[in-house]
Structure formats: structure tokens, C-alpha cells
Amino acid sequence: MSIKRDSISVGLAVGAAGAAFGAVAVASHFSVLQACVLSLFLFSGASQFALVAIIGGGGSPWSALATGAFLGTRNGLYGIRMAGLLQNRGWQRVVSAHITIDESTGMAIAQDNVEQARTAFWYTGFGVFFFWNLFTLLGAVGAKEIGSSAAWGLDVASPSIFVAVLWPRLKELRPKITALVAVAWALAITHFVPVGVPILTTVIIAVFAGWN
Amino acid sequence: MSSTWIVVIATSFAAFSLKFIGHLIPESWLEKPRVERITNYIPVVLLSGLIAMQTLTEKTKIVIDHRLAGLTVAIIAVIAKLPFPVIILGAMATSAIFYRYRI
């Protein structure tokens, strides 16, 4: 039973960050409906924040689309692992693909056997989905009332979430250097290219870093 | 339909397609180490780039303001292994205070 309880707790904790997304989206001139559609159908925190940041900052739709999609490649890799575990067919496969994210995959691979892993996957996936969408709506509606986003610190909500998500991936020297090179690259070219391009082109650095 | 709506729908479709393709391709694909290494670095570089752009630029200009104070607090909080909500709310509060008092 505690797998179900743990999974739902993860869903609540992670889903609460949806309030920040809803608020940031509205502060970036997205409508409440657009914020909710992103949480329902894009349903990938990093892709959602990136898309809103690039469009809100005046970037092109293409760089927003490409950056959002590139940030989703990780979920595709999780899908390869989860498909073997879940052995789903038909519509179940469609639903399980949609809720294949960091948390559902992480909770599933932390379990001792296949049955528990499947339970953890579905409960965490649905838990995050439910709370992420609920809090997105609350955050978006709330942000319509508060006016200036800078006065409430909302303009650093998304970068500080990224710092918290990124940090555990930087334990070794090579990822640390890669991250710093990406920062330097983006800042160096920002003045000369359209908004969104500095972020998107860091993918080249990932190819160099991972080649050998 | 506005271009924002098109991006919202197209990116949702792209992200779901990537997830679904993952569920269709065989697990042996993951055994190509170069593919796995590069795909592991993609979120590292994109998130790093996003952090820099969101904290230090305004459109295409580099700007140093209250946001950098907030992000510094976030980094310190992450290093100190503080809980997730403390990291985010600490950064937001710091940024808001610096903004309010024009520091």
C-alpha cells in the first residue's frame, strides 16, 4: 500500500509546481486556457516552461517548438524502458506514453519487482498529471489578479526550478563543464541572433560533449 | 488561430509523439552508448542555456538586475540541499525584494 501512498505524495509535491507554471504562463501573456492546454497535452514541465519563456521573451514560434520538443527527447528514452516493463497494448499504451515523465519512470525503476514497478508508474503518473493540472489552473487564475510578475518574484520561478532540476545531473566534471559552456555560448551570441536561438543551438554542445 | 495557439498545439503533438515512439522502439536501441550520452546531455545544455537567458537577458540584451540575486539564492539553496519549495520560494522572495527596493 505504501507504494501507492508514496506515488501520490510525489504527485502532489511535483504537481504543486504547476502553480508556478500557470502563473508564469499568464505573466508571459498566455491565456488561462492556453496554460491549461499546455499542462494537459504537452505535460512536460521543462518543455512547458521553455516554450512560455521563449514566446514570452519575443522568440520565434519555431525556436519555441524545437526547444520544447528537444526537451521532450528524454521522455522518449524513458518510454523505451517503460514499454518493456508495462507490456501495454492499444489505448493503454497511448495513456502510459502520455504519463511517461521523470517522476513516473523514477518511481517505477526504484521498485523491487515488476508488479510494484507497474503500480508505482501508474499511480505516480496519474498523481502528477492530476495535481499538475489542478495547480496550473489555480496558478493561472491567481496570476491574473496580481499584476506585475517581477514584484512577486515570478520572473525567477522558472530559472530557479531549472537550477533545482539540473543540479543533480552535474555531479561529475564533464557535465559541469558542458553546462558552463552552454551558458557562455548562449550569453555570447544573444546579442547577434533572434530570441530563442541561443538556447536551441546549445544542442550542438550536447553533441560534442557526448560524442566520445 | 494565433501563432501562440499553433505553437501550443504543435509542441504538445511533438512531445507526445516522442513519448509514444519511445514506447514502440526496441530496448536494444538504448545500448548505443553515443546516442544515450548525447541524449543525456541535451537537457543539461538546454536547461543551462534557459537559466542564463531567463536570468541575464532582456530580449537580446544582457541585463544584470534583481533576477540574478534571486538565482544566486536558488543556487546556494540547492548546494545546501534545502527542500524544493524552499529553493523556489527563497529565490522568488529575494528577487521580489531586490526589485521592490531597486537594489
Whole domain around residue B9: which residue ranges? Answer: 1-31
Which pLDDT tens digits describe chain B residue by residue (103 residues)?
689 999 999 999 999 999 999 999 888 877 788 988 998 899 899 999 999 999 999 989 999 999 999 999 999 999 999 998 899 999 999 999 999 997 6
pLDDT score, position B29: 78
Query: Is B18 among the domain residues?
Result: yes
Query: Is B6 among the domain residues?
Result: yes
Beta carbons of A72 and B52 less than 8 Å apart: no
Q: What is the pTM of this model?
A: 0.87
- The arithmetic mean of pLDDT across residues A114-134, rounded, is 96
Spatial neighbors of B55 by CB under 8 A, at least 6 apart, are A156, A159, B67, B68, B70, B71
Nearest alpha carbon to residue A124 among A113, A137, A111:
A111
Query: Is B13 among the domain residues?
Result: yes
Q: Does B86 touch chain A (CB under 8 A)?
A: no
Count Cβ atoms below 10 Å from residue A207 Cβ, excluding itself: 14
pLDDT score, position A36: 98
Domain ranges of chain A: 2-157, 171-212
Query: Is B77 among the domain residues?
Result: no
Number of domains in chain B: 1
Beta carbons of A37 and B8 less than 8 Å apart: yes
Q: State the complex-level ipTM.
A: 0.91
pLDDT score, position A187: 97
pLDDT score, position A81: 85
| pLDDT confidence bin for A16, thresholds 50/70/90 | confident
For A194, nearest residue in chain B (alpha carbons) = B60
Query: Is B80 among the domain residues?
Result: no
Beta carbons of A163 and B71 less than 8 Å apart: yes
Spell out which residues of chain B touch residue A109, defining contact as CB-CB under 8 Å: none
Query: Is B16 among the domain residues?
Result: yes
Asked if residue A42 has pLDDT above 70, the reply is yes
**How far is A1 from chain B, CA to nearest CA, in Å?**
25
Count Cβ atoms below 10 Å from residue A8 Cβ, excluding itself: 18
Nearest alpha carbon to residue A110 among A72, A118, B97:
A118
Asked if residue A1 has pLDDT above 90, the reply is no
Query: Is B21 among the domain residues?
Result: yes
Spatial neighbors of A188 by CB under 8 A, at least 6 apart, are none
Asked if residue A151 has pLDDT above 80, the reply is yes
pLDDT score, position A175: 95
